[in-house]
Structure 1
């Protein structure tokens, strides 16, 4: 079978310039998808990276193959965040750290939800990373449940909806107050982990003009 038939994962080691181009394309794609979502095209990525469209297609046959290459890094990062949270001795703090971490991932990355959905159809190594994440986070939730600090019935399966809710706020307010999502992240976290003492909400509400801009439908 020829190298071309075998596809990018089975190619001979890349020349230094080709390797640099591949990394540039991946970094640019990560930025574009995070900022604009999954509708970004390979042509958009080539333009943003300052390379020819042919250079992108030589490294990635289509957008799906590029997205799959990025999936691995997303799940590695989320697994690392879960491992850091699990190191917290206090079960309440462990869950709080993870929830805030995954909310921050979503606030920065519009394409996170799509990546998680796509993981189920990705190559086995990515499915393994997805399943490892579920096991890690389920254990964090179990510890919090046994300690009696998490709302009864809360499950790992609730996280996609919570991150979707938080993501909607982050996307709507990104151009007016890039940290506005943090105020509402704390509301969601308090809903999952009822606080012992009721603290004031962090930050301040958006002003009238900023709120009106944030509430306008996306064009």
Structure 2
């Protein structure tokens, strides 16, 4: 008899934790990383103390939400590598990646900035890079992709899709797809292509760009 209240408390705590996580994911998707723990509490319909008991800092909450979000991008890359046609696999991955970036501002800011996420999210990022490198290299070797496209170009396409969505999504939420299609067409190999005038960022430059961008200002 004495253990029933304890079990009830644990169930309530688990429900509250999930309620906070769900609310935070919804709120960050709309407002990005500028949302505060107080904002999350209000959106979840719980007291601020409930949030702070589950997550001592905003960084703790962000890690809990977006470790899975970034792992989803890893799974997309793994699925794309299973496609028998390297170009179709690359296109599928870029379109899915851009869809996430266009519809979830919080995840977009997490992926493209080092300001949030912590070590666990960094580990997932490190898992993603070689997968994307293989997707790009495979399509280039098969003659589908222009020679001067690099794997570091693909996340920037996602960032561009997110920017279009943020700017014009209230007018047309699907507009980003038009510009992703244009970019993909420009990535295709064609005979007698002129080389691009600007080189892609290398890994060190990508890290520098991500470290230098704090989406919340």
2:118 to 122, 125, 130: 122
Instruction: Tell me the alpha carbon deviations over residues 118-170 of structure 1, each in whole angstroms, 9 at most, x when there is no partner.
Output: 388722x4322111111111111111011011121212212232222211111
1:191 aligns with 2:186: yes
Given that 1:71 and 1:119 are in contact with CA atoms closer than 8 Å, whether structure 2 keeps it comes out as no
Distance 1:61 1:146, change over 3 A: same
What is the aligned residue count? 182
1:132 aligns with 2:127: yes
CA shift, 1:195, in A, is 8.1
Q: Distance in 2 between matches of 1:120 and 1:42?
A: 14
* Structure 2: gaps (5+ residues): 1-8, 192-217
Given that 2:144 and 2:188 are in contact with CA atoms closer than 8 Å, whether structure 1 keeps it comes out as yes
Tell me which of the two structures has the higher relative contact order, counting C-alpha pairs closer than 8 angstroms and 6 or more residues apart.
2
Q: Distance in 2 between matches of 1:120 and 1:142?
A: 30
Given that 2:145 and 2:189 are in contact with CA atoms closer than 8 Å, whether structure 1 keeps it comes out as yes
Runs of 4+ in 1 over 6 A off after TM superposition: none
Report the TM-score when normalising by structure 2.
Answer: 0.78
1:111 to 97, 106, 111: 106
SS at match of 1:177: coil
Distance 1:179 1:26, change over 3 A: same
CA shift, 1:173, in A, is 1.8
Report the TM-score when normalising by structure 1.
Answer: 0.77
SS at match of 1:131: helix
* Structure 1: gaps (5+ residues): 1-13, 197-219
**RMSD, aligned α-carbons:** 2.0
Given that 1:119 and 1:130 are in contact with CA atoms closer than 8 Å, whether structure 2 keeps it comes out as no
